[in-house]
Amino acid sequence: MGHLPADRARQSGPVDGPPPAGIDERELARALSESWGLELAGLRYEPKGFGGYHWIGATLDGSRWFVKLDHLEDKPYLGGDPSSVLDGLEVAYGAAHLLRESGLAFVVAPLPTRGGRVLMPFAPRWALTVFPFVAGETGEWGAPGPVALRTRLVRTLAELHGAAAPPGSGLRHLGWDLPGRAMLEAALDEVATPWSGGPFSEQARGAVRAKVALIREWLDSYDTLASTVAAAGLEAVVTHGEPHPGNVMTAGGEVRLIDWDTAALAPVERDLWMFRADGDALDAYEVASGRAADSAAMAFYRLTWALSDLALFVGALRREHGHNRVTEKTWTGMLAILGGSEPAPYGAV
């Protein structure tokens, strides 16, 4: 199969820079007042994230809230167009809210609007969500963190995987299709034609063109693994999808999981592959859950992660874009994948 991809650039650190063009913070404040009843004393932009933008809102009563704008063109795992992504995002965030309501205290879930929705469309191609502000710390991609924290985390995942899917949530059941595959294969088919979306497009075309055979080899390996895992008949449970250090908070000595847009029903290995280098963590998970990780499924979800990122990055650099910190990180992330680095959210423990 060759060497496999790469560090996840969108999880490797904050994206510094201003709020997205065309977003008026006065309109944000108005939406928060009208839809959530939050009367703000202040709204502070936090330059962190990839595919989303964040603010901390302080209300007149002294409470604080974490405000998020999700970009509906940067989530191919939820759908092929902004409308379907919006629907998928609402289902995922709605499931997180229901999980929290069922008693899973580690779920940092969105605050429903006055009308009961967990998000609101905001301007073309954006969705607005509000979360409770949690005073805690997150980790960094590639940093394993303390052994005790990883142990608490895998026990938390065991609790999540043992929970029933919220009735009526509509939580999606993941199949074996690669998110963004059509977008990636279209790029492979069109490497002989100039890409004109923006300043990184032609560089991206050259980098992809040099690796076409290797990318197709990875896609063939994906298909083989998908068939193997599908035939194994593994149980589908509630999974978070991205329990990497950046989505794990510690607050008051407890673990909290944030960013539930990837929540879905799937085998446990969708969450566990991130700990593949940490035998102690996997042993702790098996003790807590009674489940042992399936090696083929671990490999499948690791490759899914890498190839879906490649599709996301290539797609972003082919379509219209400018030169900024986000596109720089997209470019370097794509090069890392094509260079064959291993995805290692918790490092080489």
**Residues 278-336: tens digit of each pLDDT:** 999 999 999 999 999 999 999 999 999 999 999 999 999 999 999 988 899 999 999 99
Cα–Cα distance, 88 to 77 (Å, whole number): 9
Do 14 and 47 contact (CB within 8 A), yes or no? Answer: yes
Q: Write out the E strands in the chain.
A: 40-46, 52-59, 64-71, 120-121, 126-132, 137-138, 237-239, 248-251, 254-257, 264-266
* pLDDT value of residue 49: 59
- The stretch 211-228 carries a mean pLDDT of 98
- Pairing mode, if any, of strands 126-132 and 137-138? unpaired
**What are 220's two structure tokens?**
């063939």
Instruction: Give the pLDDT confidence score for residue 4 in this predicted structure.
Output: 31
> In this predicted structure, what is the pLDDT of residue 10?
39
Alpha-carbon distance of 53 to 125, in angstroms, equals 13
pLDDT the model gives residue 341: 81
pLDDT value at position 17? 60
| pLDDT reported for residue 343 | 86
Going by the DSSP 8-state scheme, the letter that residue 274 receives in this structure is G
Q: Is 221 exposed, middle or buried (0-12, 13-18, 19+ CB in 10 A)?
A: middle
Q: Which long-range contacts (CB under 8 A, 24 or more apart) does 144-152 make?
A: 144/278, 144/346, 144/347, 144/349, 145/245, 145/346, 147/280, 149/248, 149/250, 149/255, 150/275, 150/278, 150/280, 150/281, 150/284, 150/346, 150/349, 151/280, 151/281, 151/284, 152/254, 152/255
Torsion sign (Cα): 28, 31, 33, 36? negative
- Other residues' Cβ atoms within 10 Å of the Cβ of residue 29: 18
Centroid of chain to Cα 167: 24
- What pLDDT does 50 receive? 60
In this model, does residue 1 exceed pLDDT 80?
no
Mean pLDDT of the chain: 91
Q: Which two tokens stand for residue 239?
A: 């999974």
Residue 67: band (very low, low, confident or very high) from pLDDT cuts 50, 70, 90: very high
What domains are there in the chain, each with its CATH number?
9-177+229-339 (3.30.200.20)
233-271 pLDDT per residue, tens:
999 999 999 999 999 999 988 999 999 999 999 999 999
CA 192, 197, 203 angle in degrees (round to 5)? 55
Q: Is the confidence at residue 32, as pLDDT, over 90?
A: yes
pLDDT value of residue 19: 78
Task: State whether residue 238 is helix, strand or coil.
Answer: strand
User: Residues 255, 226: contact at Cβ < 8 Å?
Assistant: no
Q: What is the mean pLDDT of residues 224-234?
A: 97
The pair of structure tokens assigned to 68 is 């998020």
List the beta bridge partners of residue 121. 127
Mean pLDDT, range 111-130, rounded to an integer: 95
The CB density around residue 44, as the number of other CB atoms within 10 Å, is 12
Q: Is 297 helix (H, G, I), strand (E, B) or coil?
A: helix
* Model pLDDT, residue 16: 53
pLDDT at 3: 28
> Residue 206 phi/psi, 5° resolution?
-65, -40
Of the pLDDT bands very low, low, confident and very high (cuts 50, 70, 90), residue 34 is very high
pLDDT at 73: 83
The model's confidence at residue 11, banded by pLDDT at 50, 70 and 90, is very low
Q: How far is CA 27 from CA 5, 42, 132, in A?
A: 40, 13, 20
The CA distances from residue 244 to 145, 150, 201, 259, in Å, are 11, 10, 29, 11
How much is the pLDDT for 88? 95
